[in-house]
Chain A
């Protein structure tokens, strides 16, 4: 909201598209997420909006990429699982870096409904822990994965010196939503 306000004050031509992204993100989080599963394409669209909104706070201080590959719209997914990883990526990189930030998100599918999600972000060891809430988001995601995708997920997290890498494989299901 604050960033949006800034764009509005500057009368930036980006303002209308930011309002649309924001309203999509809010609508998705408030309404669509009441379902246990949502259409994969909705979740992907949400991830993209969410990434773009967060990208506003980085601007020229770094680079954010979002790539999708071979998304099959017939599949469904539990909402807001993937966005937690993206949210964390932004949080941790901006809590430790004021420049040279990078965040790379990649979502692809194989032909049998296997979803492959990767999120990489840069960070530095000196971090302002104020806005990091003790990993509760990550704990919740792990619990949700165990409940919703028992034996159908693989979560791999690698915490290297200055790059945090999440790799999640999910076996999705088809069906009406």
Chain B
């Protein structure tokens, strides 16, 4: 879904936009504002992908609003006047809809919203494929050190930081264990203890409540994690 808001003072025009937003199916309307000042506060709190912005508004115009907006979301201008079309290029808007506009024209405008955001809309496939990284970068002083995810044996939590252990060496990361648990593919990396996540493919054997890695490294399996872990390994 693309999160959007409407900034439009005239109720009939608001209703047309609301109807189109509902009809298109992949836009989620978070709020509607009759003037842009009210929207500014909202935008500070809520991340929004797309704004439908009228130009002739009470208090400050849509163009003035664009000028003061930092971290601009995608903007589609909607106005009954073509006078601002040229100027609107300066503000990098997605499209310029001249009221009244048809549903087809609306769809055309929305489809121009950069695909970075649109990813959420349709292809689950691509999400499945790309969701988990093949490599991670660990900050060390001024450097970011690359680690191949496949090389990781396990990740160990240690008070305020975590240690990432590969076959070759140990890396220290500022991220908590919980972060890595969510960040890495849960089919490959599994929690076996409140302090350990391990890479299943690196296990040598399981002995009772211990997991053994190459080089005689043993990790304990926590009681709470044993059942889930065994299921995953022996499936």
Contact = CB atoms under 8 A, between A and B. Distances in A.
Interface of A: 1-7, 9-10, 56-61, 94-99, 124, 126-128, 130-131
Given A94-B58, A95-B56, A127-B58, 18 more contacts: A1-B99, A3-B12, A5-B16, A6-B12, A6-B15, A9-B15, A9-B19, A10-B19, A59-B11, A60-B11, A61-B9, A61-B11, A94-B9, A95-B58, A97-B58, A124-B59, A128-B58, A128-B59
B69 to A, nearest CB: 16
B64 interface: yes
A163 to B, nearest CB: 17
Nearest to B63: A130
Contact of A2 (B63, B64, B99): B99
Nearest to B103: A9
A98 B19 contact: no
A interface majority secondary structure: helix
A95 B60 CA distance: 8
A15 to B, nearest CB: 11
Interface in B1-35: 9-13, 15-16, 19, 34-35
Contact of A6 (B13, B34, B59, B64): B13
5 closest A-B pairs (Cβ-Cβ)? Answer: A5-B100, A98-B34, A6-B12, A2-B99, A130-B61
Contact of A99 (B13, B34, B80): B34
B16 A128 contact: no
Interface of B: 9-13, 15-16, 19, 34-35, 38, 55-61, 63-64, 80, 99-100
Given A2-B100, A9-B19, A10-B19, A130 B56 contact: yes
Given A98-B34, A99-B34, A2 B13 contact: yes
A3 B13 contact: yes
Given A2-B80, A5-B100, A57 B59 contact: no
Instruction: Point out which of B9, B13, B55, B56 has the most chain A C-beta atoms below 10 A from its C-beta.
Output: B9
Nearest to A130: B61
Contact of A128 (B11, B61, B99, B100): B61
A101 to B, nearest CB: 9
**What is the predominant secondary structure among interface residues of chain B facing chain A?**
loop
A96 B58 contact: yes
Contact of A126 (B11, B12, B13, B59): B59
Contacts of A131: 56, 61
Contacts of B38: 98
A166 to B, nearest CB: 21
Contacts of A57: 9-12
Interface centre among B10, B15, B38 (most CB of A within 10 A): B10
Contact of B10 (A3, A95, A128): A3
Contacts of B60: 126, 128
A133 B16 CA distance: 28
B52 to A, nearest CB: 14
26 contacts: A2-B13, A3-B13, A5-B16, A5-B99, A6-B12, A7-B12, A58-B11, A59-B12, A61-B9, A61-B34, A94-B9, A94-B58, A95-B56, A95-B58, A98-B38, A98-B57, A98-B59, A99-B34, A127-B58, A128-B58, A128-B64, A130-B55, A130-B61, A130-B63, A130-B64, A131-B61
